[in-house]
Structure 1
Amino acid sequence: MNETLHLCQEWDKVFPLSEEVRHHKTTFTNRYGITLAADVYEPKKASGKLPAIALSGPFGAVKEQASGLYAHQLAKRGFFTIAFDPSYTGESGGFPRNVASPDINTEDFMAAVDFLSVQENVDPDKIGILGICGFGGMALNAAALDTRIKATVTSTMYDMTRVNANGYFDEEDSEELRFQKKEALSKQRTIDFKNGNYASAGALPDEIPDGAPQYVADYILYYRRKRGYHPRSQGEGKGWNVTGCQSFLNMPILQYSNEIRSTVLMIHGEKAHSCYFSKDAYQKMMDGNPVPDNKELLIIPGAVHTDLYDQMDIIPFDKITDFYQTYLK
């Protein structure tokens, strides 16, 4: 049984629609019975069976933002693309709202591959994925599991299990600090159950707090300004549930990333606070990999984390296009 979704039929992206691209909305269901909402982008001039790419992210964003921008640009370059909202977020189904799961969100990518594999104008042997921010980690995790994925790009990647368990820059990497997090989340679950609802952690503020780290300011300048604002992002302004990422504390992703045989391109900004996620994940992926020669880490000089969300003069679309054209053929 498919969950009935109510999809916005108006163009509500943070970028304009090109005359070179045909767009429509669609839905598909993942292995957990959650119906996902997606935007389909097709190049108008292309014909025959096309290479296809499924995209999602950043973590907390919706498909009308960065993933849609990437999907739209890649469609202009000849690919059949879909940008989807992960389970429990945006226009996709699932309850409670505004929660995440390393397992279910990895499955979301594989369900998108299911969908692409049966489209009449898609070549099922030429399917890639692209994940941004926290969904870069999920994309890499899916590539380690699903051999139908022939090429994977991660952009400005977060390892959400690592940052939840260890804090930023691993500054909270101790049993005692993890116990304190677990204890607080466990108590919150009891409170939520008594109240009959899930407490929200809250979205980013509209103004940059005094003394905020630069990356927090960068997030605010994207999510809370005209540049990237969308009313459905960040849990429709409520943020994640307080307990929404609890499972990430105990279920690391990328366990077998060093066994990925398909090709991978990881892209990150040199000045991004999150750059260590990609550097470390790349090194782990390469250690003992049976097929290391088709893996690449590309560092963009001077770029910060959110530059790779939407800055057209910084995102290396020509490189990404060449990568997919090379390996989806």
Structure 2
Amino acid sequence: MKTNAFMNKPLQIMLSILTLMLAANIAYAEDDVTWDKTFKRSDKVTHKKVSYPNRYGIILSADMYMPKDMDESQHYPALVIGTPYGGVKEQGAGIYAQTMAERGYVTIAFDESFNGESGGQPRHVSSPEIFVEDFSAGVDFLGTRPFVDRDKIGAIGICGSGGFALKAAQVDHRIKAVATASMYDMSRVIRNGWEDSMSAEERNKMLDELGKQRWEDFENGSPMLPEGFPDEPTTSIPEGLDPISSEFWEYYAMERGHHPRSHGPFTATSNMAFMNFPLMNYVDTISPRPILFIMGEKAHSRYFTEDAYELAAEPKELYVVPGARHIDLYDRTDMIPFDKLNSFFAKALQ
């Protein structure tokens, strides 16, 4: 970097520091003034916006939460927290991150590559391998903070990110414990259909159509992106939606959880990768690191959690939240078992 011979010394030092930060692709923002989350800010934590690269060179955006009274000369346990599938860090993941920071953890809630405020082109791509990598990138970041004990890092995955967190832990031994909430196995549901109802003929037809879509995307110069949730929150659920779609509409499209960066659907051809990338094939190898599976009693998605629990090896635990639906474990702080999460990670990361 060239500097003017007449540049004063303090400015030279400041620019040198900036150059080093850019070279490391790590950035911090001071505790922000504008609060753009779907939940209330806690006065018990410090919040900072951070960014860092994954191993593909994509810059991820995350919200970091720390206990307000934290002594940065000490070492704290940490948690990397993924969003519900199609969500952003300003929604459910942020609720988990802020609440666990209140309980003494350094946490980050991150936007997956190609989504939210994270980098990556084209936008709204969904990639199982890269979304799994994004969890490990969060561990990279947390484990290099001077106030984090890198031997005490856990992961929480909500909805689709539950499957990604488990997949990351299968090979990333730095993740010492995993908790999932309302888990979706996206590879399974995309390849096999809802409740494994898709026939081989239907799957082949879908793959034929996706192959044609790739040609169209190539000719158009951009991938086809299905219509997503409205830009502004609605006041009612459209007539004719099936029960599962109605539930997601209630959260993503209404005042409850609406956020302008949470589009919902991903590019159509993203589905091809999921059909070729199983998430649960080595889940038993996470052992002896513990797994906590959390699901709602009335969750439409509970079969994903029940089956993953059966595949996992000990130590493992299945925790059922009475009366809770799938989306209730996104944001219902009166239902999300934070005491259970705290006791689980306190023991697992001791």
Q: Shorter-chain-normalised TM-score: which range?
A: over 0.9
Residue pair 2:143, 2:150 contacting (<8 A) in 1 also: yes
Q: For 2:209 and 2:92, locate their aligned partners in 1 and report how far apart those are by CA, in whole Å.
A: 33
Shift in Å, 1:275: 0.4
Residue 56 (structure 1) aligned with residue 82 (structure 2): yes
**Could you tell me how far apart the structure 2 residues matched to 1:254 and 1:275 are?**
15
Offset, 1:10: 2.3
Q: Which stretches in structure 2 are left out of the alignment for 5+ residues? A: 1-22
Q: Deviations over 1:251-297 (max 9, x none)?
A: 111211011121110101111111000000110113xxxxx1x2111
1:197 equivalenced with 2:218 (yes/no): no
Deviations 1:187-238 (A, max 9, x none): 1111111111221111146553434222211111111111111000026xxx
Change (3 A) 1:4 1:184: farther
Q: Residue by residue, what CA displacement relative to the aligned partner does 1:62-109 show, whole Å, maximum 9, x if unpaired? A: 000000010000000110000000011000001111111111111100
Q: TM-score, normalised by structure 1?
A: 0.93
Aligned to 1:296: 317
8 Å Cα contact 1:59-1:134 kept in structure 2: yes
CA distance in 2, matches of 1:192, 1:9: 40
Displacement of 1:2 in angstroms is: 7.7
Please provide the CA RMSD for this pair.
Answer: 1.9
The aligned amino acid for 1:190 is W
CA distance in 2, matches of 1:111, 1:4: 12
Separation in 1 of the partners of 2:26 and 2:174? 28
Unpaired segments of 5 or more residues in structure 1?
287-291
Separation in 2, partners of 1:217, 1:298: 25
Larger radius of gyration: 2
Deviations 1:273-324 (A, max 9, x none): 11000000110113xxxxx1x2111111221100000011110011001111
Q: Quick one: distance in 2 between partners of 1:302 and 1:254? A: 27
Residues 293 and 309 in structure 2, CA contact (< 8 A), matched pair in contact too: yes
Distance in 1, Cα, partners of 2:96 & 2:190: 27
CA distance in 2, matches of 1:23, 1:280: 36
> What is the CA–CA distance in structure 1 between the aligned matches of 2:340 and 2:77, rounded to whole Å?
16
Query: TM-score, length-normalised on structure 2?
Result: 0.87
Name the counterpart of 1:188. Answer: 213
Preserved CA contact (<8 Å) 1:2 1:35: no
- Equivalent residue, structure 2, for 1:289: none
Total equivalences in the alignment? 319
**1:227 corresponds to which of 253, 256, 259:** 256
What is the deviation of 1:9?
6.7
Is 1:137 aligned to residue 163 of structure 2?
yes
Q: 41-50 vs 211-220, which deviates more?
A: 211-220
Once residues 26 and 204 of structure 2 are traced to their aligned partners in structure 1, the CA distance between those partners, rounded to angstroms, is 39
Which of 74, 77, 93 does residue 119 from structure 2 map onto?
93
Moved over 4 A (4+): 1-5
Alignment of 1:46-85 (within 5 A): 46-47=70-71, 48-85=74-111
Q: Separation in 1 of the partners of 2:207 and 2:24? A: 34
Supply the distance in 2 between the matched residues of 1:233 and 1:284 (Cα, whole angstroms): 32
In structure 1, the residue corresponding to 2:177 is in which secondary structure?
strand
Over 3 Å counting, the alpha-carbon distance change for 1:9 and 1:108 in structure 2 is farther
Task: State, as a whole percentage, how many aligned pairs show the same letter.
Answer: 47
**Aligned equivalents of 2:26 and 2:144: distance in 1?**
22
